[in-house]
Structure 1
Amino acid sequence: MKIVIIEDEILVAEDLVSNLKQINPDVEIVSILSSVKEAVDYFAVNPQPDLIFSDIQLGDGLSFEIAKKITIEVPVIFCTAFDEYALEAFRANGIEYILKPFSTESLQKALFKFQNMQKVMAGSIALKYEAAMATLAAKNKNSSNTIMIKYRDRLLPFTLDKIALFYLENEITYVQSHSGKTYAMTESLEELEHKVDTAFFRMNRQFLVNRNAIVDVTDYFPRKLKINLSFPFNKDIIVSREKRSKLLTWLTEH
């Protein structure tokens, strides 16, 4: 069985190779590709294998973009750190996946399913992806807004009500949950400001705060306001006198 692996974390790829070899010594790993571009270039000039194992989120985009540029005619098993809720859409649209961190048992099940469902899993990967994403988008539209936060090799979904604030420090954006956990993010505060709802207010260049994280505000000389949060926070959040009136109106409405 010839296999191509698409994974941008070399240690994860090596672990996958080791596990596959342990399950089936006859497995031949034809190539390990680390990006959308590399995969598109590879499949443009090389024959497709019997099976592809692919991470979903690569450094230069989603691996589904490969199938939009190159016709994939073989089954793909996605190795992903997406939370279970997001994968309901994949399951409904016939896309096979295994969750990271994967085990030998999960790989054995995936290979067994591949052997029994080759025709079902093969072909039209791009169409299946588009259907899955449409299902997922509709689900998210009808539920609480969610921000996906990348942590190591996982994508963690946080509903906005669980997020206390976003802030900028040393030009890096961070998100802090009400539970006190903090994660670095790739988005800027400007981008996040467009993603969140009216429960968040841009206090200044550095802070985007959730209303449910605010206990009260106090006067701060001269005619500025200081935000007091419901949990210990070692940074002062100061609102300028120009924004004072707008903030007080927002607090009243929310």
Structure 2
Amino acid sequence: MNILIIEDEPFTAEDLEDTLLEVEPAARIVAVLPSVKAAVAYFQANPQPDLIFSDIQLGDGLSFEIFNAVSITKPVVFCTAYNEYALDAFRANGIDYILKPFNRATIEKTLQKYKQLQESLAPGKPDYQALLQLLDNRLVQKPTSVLVYQRDKIIPLPIDQIAVFYSQNLITHVVTFDQRKFTLNQNMEEMEAICGSQFFRANRQYLVNHKAIKEAAQYFGRKLSVTLNIPFQEEIIVSKAKSPLFLNWLAK
């Protein structure tokens, strides 16, 4: 089974690829594409894979623009954090979806559905134009602030003021660039989905703002040690597997 991933979040793309190969070891990930432009160029030059996993909102537009620009006859599974109104549209077109953050059970269920429908999938093109118009008009934008807690106060805090999120004893904390510290109710997976490409999930414990990074240094076992440009006592380590993704993200 040849699978194509369209996803602009490096950590999410890596996680999806790893999970797919765990569930379906015989699968082959033919490409991981980060944008509408890259995906259109890929489809124009390469044969279509058996199955496509695609995020909805990419850095340069909605993924439906890809399917309007290129005739796609293969099934698409949308990976989304958006509201139920959009998911109803996907059902009407016979396309499966995965809500972020996904897990192994979700991927297993999706691949099982694909296999069950494989023989009966119609070759006709779904009405992506209708979906594009729907999402263009009604898509809920990612929030620009999060609600944080300080004693008895609930404060809206702009995301761009946050230097780092970290998890400690199952509680999510934030530190701002001006050294204020708060807690919030969301877990790290939820914050990663909300914050977008401005932040990188260094490991399960830390989610770091690009603007907060002073430097990275080589660490034991080809890992990376990250130093922030704010006072921060905890050691942030990027694994060997994620180091290339981190360096690509840091260079942007």
SS at match of 1:102: coil
- 1:180 positional shift: 4.5
C-alpha contact 2:8 2:59 (8 A) present in aligned 1: yes
The equivalent residue for 1:56 is 56
In terms of Rg, which structure is larger?
Answer: 1
Identity %: 50
Structure 1 equivalent of residue 77 of structure 2: 77
Alignment of 1:49-198 (within 5 A): 49-118=49-118, 119-120=120-121, 123-125=124-126, 127=127, 129-132=128-131, 148-151=140-143, 180-183=155-158
Aligned residues of 1:89 and 1:133 also touching (Cα < 8 A): no
Matched residue pairs, number? Answer: 153
**1:89 offset after TM fit, Å?**
2.4
TM-score after normalising by structure 2: 0.54
Larger relative contact order (Cα-Cα within 8 Å, sequence gap ≥ 6)? 2
Residue equivalent to 1:159: none
Q: Give me the whole-angstrom Cα distance separating, in 2, the residues matched to 1:150 and 1:23.
A: 30
Displacement after TM superposition at 1:133 (Å): 5.3
Confirm or deny: 8 A CA contact 1:4 1:29 kept in the other structure. Answer: yes
- The verdict on how the C-alpha distance between 1:11 and 1:123 changes in structure 2, with shifts beyond 3 A counting, is farther
Distance 1:117 1:65 in 2: 25
Report the CA distance between 1:65 and its aligned residue: 0.5
**Structure 1 pair 63/137, CA: closer, same or farther in 2 (3 Å)?**
closer
Residue-by-residue CA offset, 1:63-110 (whole Å, 9 max, x unaligned) = 110111111111110111112243122223322111010110111111
Question: Which runs of 5 or more residues in structure 1 are unaligned?
Answer: 141-146, 152-173, 186-254
Aligned mates of 2:9, 2:64 — CA distance in 1:
17
Q: Which runs of 5+ in 2 are unaligned?
A: 148-153, 161-252
Instruction: Find the aligned partners of 2:86 and 2:110 in 1 and give their Cα distance.
Output: 19
Query: Alpha carbons of 1:85 and 1:101: their partners in 2 closer, same or farther (altered >3 Å)?
Result: same
